Amino acid sequence: MTTRRALLQQFACGLAAVTATPLALPAAPALLGLNRKGHVVRGGYVDDDAAAGHALRDGTATLPAGRPERRVAVAIVGGGIGGLSTAWRLDALGLTDWTLLELGARVGGNARSAEYPGLGGQRAPWGAHYLPVPPADAVHVRALCRELGVLGANGEWDERVLCHSPQERLWQHGRWHEGIDPRDAATPEVRRQFARFEQLTAEWRKSGMFRVPSAEGHRVRTEAIRRGGAAAKVARAVQRLDTMSADAWLREQALDAPALRWWVEYGTRDDYGASLQQASAWAAVHYFAARPANEEGPLTWPEGNDYLVRALSQRLSRGRDARGQERLLAHSPVVQLERRGTTWQLDTPRERIVADAVVWAAPLFVLPRVCREVTVPVEIEYAPWVVANLVLDRMPEERGATLAWDNVVYGSASLGYVNAQHQGLGQPRPTQLWTWYHAVTDRPAREARQWLQQQPWSVWRDTIINDLQPAHPDIAERLLRVDVKRWGHAMARPVPRTLARVESLRTWKPAPHLFMAHADLSNLSLFEEAQWHGVQAAVSVVRALR
């Protein structure tokens, strides 16, 4: 039997280095914390690529002399879902002469994950951790899922990746409840307000103007305005939602029950990293109305969406460009992007790339930093996040419903934690691995990023303990590690006037043979949005070059 002393020794030695294939901690934690019993909680910050990003921002990135030159048809900048989807679609269209340039050590964007060798190689997400089951009209997402073996030829989903039961639980009124519906012991008035909100959501869903990917909903709305009549009235009401905050809209509708407001804000924080005061009412409604009321799933893996990233990147890595060279290049931030005659020149610390076309699949705010001739026509607000992976020696004390995949604390500033071992099919381990999510919504985004950089790791260790202690009284004694990743620009935040920004970006032509493929174009950081823009960019590139 493994004793607690043996576990502590194991984690002090073998687990001090968290390998994430993408990210790693130093061999010894930079900071240690002692709880009131003298128990050491180890951990630290993982590499967040901030140094490379700030070098691009400040213009201090260097380009060594004597770098080799590579000639390709297409250069893809950014290895998130948008960039990978561009590459995937280019291959399908027969254009295989491309190179993808990734700033970090590994592709994946905010869908990367960590690996814990001391837990038998158990993985846990650093960001996006699930994919809603795509409906029948989600052609590209389903095609990718079929290629990766997640969706069978018969249309059946692999049951191993459909989220197992129990899926969700909520800590409320001193115990865990199944599901995250906060209506436990609710008054008739609170239930009436929930019913009213659900009625409004159903009406918006029925309009067809809220879809994923959102381009289809925008098309339906625009066409309704063109036709006029009753549909145009609905479309104008949808557009009005985008002129106000979610908070203002809920107040206008007399939906002021604290439980309902918490429920709606859980959605805006979950998908957008935004409070009710920050998110537009359109975005709040979109969270609830864009998907079926009773959808199957979601699809999830121990490492979250990094499962899809790794499977896709492995397939893409098998191919070579027209000169037989590797196509996925990590540690390759684009420092300069210039138009030279009929081609583009991309300079990275590793090599110079000369391409006929460029697909920009990195966040839009970076583009003007490296390409002087381009100006982004809109300003996008980016939500800062903190994600922490927690290693516990065993399950802590609790009351009520048993551990679920998603575990949420009612009224908390965090989004709770996901059990990274939930989808495991082998013998369960006594140790626990949880991923804790927190969107920084209590201050303006720019100020929040500066604040994040100033906080010592111990602040997050203590914040997490205080956040979970009501539900798990002995959490401080159970914790062995707290590994923290800061996402300064985690996702585009859909503040009011999102629809106007999306329209400006839709008609934007930045430069000849320069195409965009990032979820920023939708102002929604969702897998489906990023993939859709990647696919559209690939189609545009092939059309332009052929």
Least confident of 10-24, 210-224, 384-398: 10-24
246: its two tokens:
């979610």
The pTM for the full model equals 0.92
By C-alpha distance, which of 48, 186, 150 is closest to 489? 48
Average pLDDT of span 391-412: 97
Q: What is the pLDDT of residue 125?
A: 98
Instruction: Locate 451 and state its tokens.
Output: 């604040």
- Minimum mean pLDDT range among 24-38, 110-124, 291-305, 322-336: 24-38
Query: By the 8 A CB rule, do 337 and 344 touch?
Result: yes
Please give the pLDDT value at position 18. Answer: 56
How much is the pLDDT for 88? Answer: 98
Residue 190: which residues within 8 A CB-CB, separation 6 or more? 183, 257, 259, 260
Cα(293)–Cα(229) distance, rounded to whole angstroms?
Answer: 27
Mention every residue, 6+ apart, whose C-beta is less than 8 A from residue 208: 217, 220
Query: How would you list the strands of the sheet with 382-392, edge to edge?
Result: 33-34, 40-45, 479-492, 382-392, 432-439, 417-419, 406-409, 168-172, 175-178
Collapsed DSSP state (helix, strand, coil) of residue 488: strand
pLDDT tens digits for 145-185?
Answer: 999 999 999 999 999 999 999 999 999 999 999 999 999 98
Report d(CA 509, CA 260) in Å as an integer.
42
Report the amino acid identity of residue 334: V
DSSP string, 108-137: -GGG-EEEEGGGTTEEEESS---BPPP-TT
pLDDT reported for residue 295:
76
CA distances from residue 445 to 3, 63, 176, 450, 464 in whole angstroms, order as listed: 45, 31, 33, 9, 21
Stretch 412-431: mean pLDDT, rounded? 91
428-439 residue pLDDT tens = 789 999 999 999
273-302 as b/e: b if 16+ CB within 10 A: bbbbebbbbbbbbbbbbbbeeeeebbbbbb
Cα(273)–Cα(265) distance, integer angstroms: 10
pLDDT tens figures, 256-300: 999 999 999 999 999 999 999 999 999 999 999 999 888 788 999
Q: What is the rounded CA–CA span in Å between residue 411 and residue 469?
A: 14
CA distance readout (Å), 176 to 399, 459, 471, 543: 6, 26, 8, 55
How confident is residue 208, by pLDDT bands cut at 50, 70 and 90? very high
Mean per-residue pLDDT of the chain? 92
pLDDT of residue 23: 35
Q: How far is Cα 537 from Cα 518, in angstroms, rounded to an integer?
A: 9
Of residues 38 and 363, the one with the higher pLDDT is 363
Q: What is the pLDDT of residue 211?
A: 95
Q: Is pLDDT at 24 greater than 90 in this prediction? A: no
- Is the model more confident about 124 or about 48? 124
Amino acid 37: pLDDT: 57
pLDDT computed for residue 504 by the predictor: 97
